Amino acid sequence: MKNIFAARNSGWLFWLILILVSVAFLVVNESSNQPESSLSQTGSVDGHIQDGTTPAPTISEAPKLISENGEPTSSLAVPFSRLYKTAAVNDILVDPRGFVWAATEQGLTSIKEDQMQNFSIEEGSFPSQQAECLAYDGKELWVGTLTGLCIQNDSGRFVRSELSDSLPSQLIWSLAWDGTTIWAGTQNGAAFMKPGSGFQIINEANTNGGLRNNWCQNIARPGTWFVAAHDRGLSIWNINFPASNPELWKNIDHARSVISRPITDIAFDGTRIWLATGRGVLLLTTPVEKFFNEFTPNLVSYSRIHGLPANRVNSLIAHRNSIWAGTDGGLVRIREDRIQLITASSGTAPERVRKLAASGDILWIGSDRGLQFINTAMVD
Amino acid sequence: MKLSDFFTPVKAFFARFDIYQLLAVPVLLVILFYSIDFSSNDMQIGVILPLSGEHSQRAENHLNGLTLAARHINGLGGINGRRLNLQIRDTHGQAEKTAEVTRDLIYENSVFALIGGFSPANTRIIQALAEKAQVPFITGICTHYETTASGNRFTFRSITDDRRQFEALSDYALKRFNSRKPALIYDLELYGPDSAQRFIEISNRSGQQVCAAVSYKKGTLNFRRQLETIMAATPDLLVILAPAADSALILRQFREARFARPVIGGNQLAASEFVSLAGVYSESVVTTMPFNPRAGGQRADYFLTEYAETFGQPADADAAMGYEAMMLMALAFKASDLDRNSARNALAALHGWESVAGSGGFDEDGNQVRPAEIAIIKDRQKIPVTMEGLF
């Protein structure tokens, strides 16, 4: 070392060390500012719900499959992919062209053939600080943010859509595409739009109370039904009938039930509706095709005592004859009343899952740190 | 020893280095100086309140309480040597702005925790984003009962909620005024039909029958329609569930229409804004009292003195609730590993404490367990009913 300092012709080496030290310092300092995550939690859901429009609904518990020592009934080890680093993920969408889109707290990220592209307000390629939700209508990608609705223009940049002004609020919490219509859940009501037209608003006022609350945090479109999870519970509307007739809406109220608020995600397995909540997973036992005549909001609950690694469930998806749940304690699969924790045989499984999306056999997992995927064909 | 003798070895030492190496030292120091984020040693706390707009006065008082508490904590050396730094954001009372500033505080400023809220809608937005990002959130100003009745883990409330307030009001109305037929007027933003329904249910349980329940929209100045409906029902008591300024206006119009029956209401009527706007009409109004200085003892005396000296005005309930909320946050930080999750766990473990507002504690939902206290307004002062006989 002494020789290095003494040698007159070794100034470049000194500078190199100096820069490396500085860079290392910067990296250490920056990483200490990152938000913390990971936790475990306790609690369970049970009891009765009462609904103003339906008789004596109840919540029953799924069969207890947990072992005496509190461990999940079983776990499955599969390889997890490398982490595609992004900001905290709010939504994931795989479009038919093969692009994987992630709505994050720093904007939008696309992945195709291992190439990542970021769209952010800093780069001038995205008009909002964050992106909340995504929908693809077969031609265009729609991005919901907390400041309005965005679409991609011809130059590849995302811009605020003019149609955003026809939404009931610019706080857009969820988007859905049902093959013919775009649906949006906003702070001040829901809305739907067929391509080429403007949004039609659905709210408490124009449904005469059919939609019980305007804050539509999550929406889904199973069969001929529109489902909105809002601040007062769940409102379900048969879209073949006028929304203005409140008698045709089915409602489950939070206030008179033990459904935890908020409902963080909705999944449809082809027959029944599943709800992700802060206190586990709820299964609405009435099949969707029987909603019209035989709607009884009986629910089956799956919580930590049944084998979920955490009660807070952030995302749900129906995929390969199973329900996959992203929780604060990791990824699980619910199949035939069995709950299986998905662990990593290689790679690292995220501690906390924020969002799930599926394409073919691939299940994409969004976390606080980015995107990963597993091949679900390997699970079986 | 000659001066040149001293410099000779120094010169010899520096002669070993070339000019680039010597210049590198100050450059390194400059780089290190800018690399270190000296402010990152501070604990960033996000404060989200409607500091402009309709509820600005109450929000300002709440902020004053928070600021005073932070000043005291920092004056005592902070939390384990780290100072509290309040990142204050104004929501303008708008949902969109609330979401924007909450998101920025969580993801751009990396705050340890959030304090604030006001209206149920805005508080729920903060709550939704805080829960998603696992950031502890404490509200000392939003009383809507549903805020902590929803299974959320990171949300806490240090003010007594509406449900407990309604129970106390209903009980007092029955025992003191023998009320059997109260009427209710409520706003659609701060309380809404849910709260009205909850009040009716609580009244029914104690054998009272609400004879009229009428709402009004934000911005209403003339309450003639509501007044006529309520007067026609001949109630024996009026319950006002509305923001402080609206409550004052409603009270004035009812009293001017010669409505002589008792008037009671929630903690909005305990705000200094209500008393100053209602003036003489506030006399004998019964309200809940989130902050009873007598319950806080010496802590409250010290707080009241310090507050008056600092801000040149007496502290009201909003200020005291702000002070208490910040102190609770500090208490949790002190018992935690200074990260969000352990701070949340420390808050959840606060089942009992003594503060400027007296004894308190969180239940399993993170809700304040302190019972609501009833006060009667006399000479523009809120007198706890337990001490009413003294005045």
Break chain A into its structural domains and give their ranges: 67-378
pLDDT score of B5: 73
Residues B250 and B345 in one domain: no
CATH code, B219: 3.40.50.2300
Residues B107 and B185 in one domain: no
CA distance B154 to chain A (A): 11
Q: Is A29 an 8 Å CB contact of chain B?
A: yes
Residues B169 and B182 in one domain: yes
Q: Is A3 an 8 Å CB contact of chain B?
A: no
Per-residue model confidence as pLDDT tens digits over A323-374: 999 999 999 999 988 899 999 999 999 999 999 999 999 999 999 999 999 9
Residues B110 and B188 in one domain: no
Which run of H or E residues covers position A14?
helix A11-31
**Count of Cβ atoms closer than 10 Å to residue B118 Cβ:** 27
Which run of H or E residues covers position A29?
helix A11-31
Checking ipTM against 0.85, whether it exceeds it is no
Interface of A with B in 294-323 (CB under 8 A): 311-312, 314
Contact B107 A88 (CB under 8 A): yes
Q: Is A34 an 8 Å CB contact of chain B?
A: yes
Q: In chain B, what residues touch A172 (CB-CB under 8 Å)?
A: none
Which run of H or E residues covers position A6?
helix A2-6
Q: Is residue B367 part of a domain?
A: no
Per-residue model confidence as pLDDT tens digits over A207-225: 999 999 899 999 999 999 9
Interface-testing mutation among A231, A234, A351, A353, with chain B (most B C-beta atoms within 10 A):
A231
Residues B205 and B57 in one domain: no
pLDDT score of B80: 85
pLDDT score of A64: 52
Q: Is residue B327 part of a domain?
A: yes
Per-residue model confidence as pLDDT tens digits over A268-308: 999 999 999 988 999 998 899 888 888 887 888 898 888 89
pLDDT of B150 over the 70 cut:
no
Contact A146 B99 (CB under 8 A): yes
**Between residues B386 and A204, which one has the greater pLDDT?**
A204
Residues B236 and B384 in one domain: yes
Q: Is residue B5 part of a domain?
A: no
Question: Which of B27, B36, B132 lies nearest to residue A29, judging by beta carbons?
Answer: B36
Q: Is residue B281 part of a domain?
A: yes
pLDDT score of A232: 83
Q: What is the mean pLDDT of residues A93-120?
A: 95
Residues B186 and B144 in one domain: no
Over chain B, what HEC string results?
CCHHHHHHHHHHHHHCCCHHHHHHHHHHHHHHHHHCCHHHHCEEEEEEECCCCCCHHHHHHHHHHHHHHHHHHHHCCCECCECEEEEEEECCCCHHHHHHHHHHHHHCCCCCEEEECCCHHHHHHHHHHHHHHCCCEEECCCCCHHHHCCCCCCEEECCCCHHHHHHHHHHHHHHHHCCCCEEEEEECCCCHHHHHHHHHHHHHHCCCCCCEEEEECCCCCCCHHHHHHHHHCCCCEEEEECCHHHHHHHHHHHHHCCCCCCEEECHHHHCHHHHHHHHHHHCCCEEECCCCHHHHHHHHHHHHHHHHHHHCCCCCHHHHHHHHHHHHHHHHHHCCCCCHHHHHHHHHCCCCEEECCEEECECCCCCECCCCCEEEEECCEEEEHHHHHHC
Residues B144 and B194 in one domain: no
Q: In chain A, what residues touch B153 (CB-CB under 8 Å)?
A: 41, 278, 312
Per-residue model confidence as pLDDT tens digits over B63-112: 999 999 999 999 999 998 899 999 999 999 999 999 999 999 999 999 99
Q: In chain A, what residues touch B218 (CB-CB under 8 Å)?
A: none
pLDDT score of A27: 60
- What's the number of domains chain B is made of? 2
Residues B153 and B299 in one domain: yes
How far apart are the C-alpha atoms of A292 and B325, rounded to whole Å?
Answer: 48
Q: Is residue B156 part of a domain?
A: yes
Domain over A67-378 is classified CATH 2.130.10.10: yes
Contact B40 A33 (CB under 8 A): yes
Which residue in chain A is spatially nearest to B112 when comparing CA positions?
A35
Q: Is A240 an 8 Å CB contact of chain B?
A: no
pLDDT of A58 over the 80 cut:
no
Q: Is residue B233 part of a domain?
A: yes
Contact A278 B341 (CB under 8 A): no
Domain range enclosing B189: 163-289+376-390
pTM value is 0.82
**Count of Cβ atoms closer than 10 Å to residue B77 Cβ:** 10
**Which residues are bridge partners to A101 per DSSP?**
A93, A110
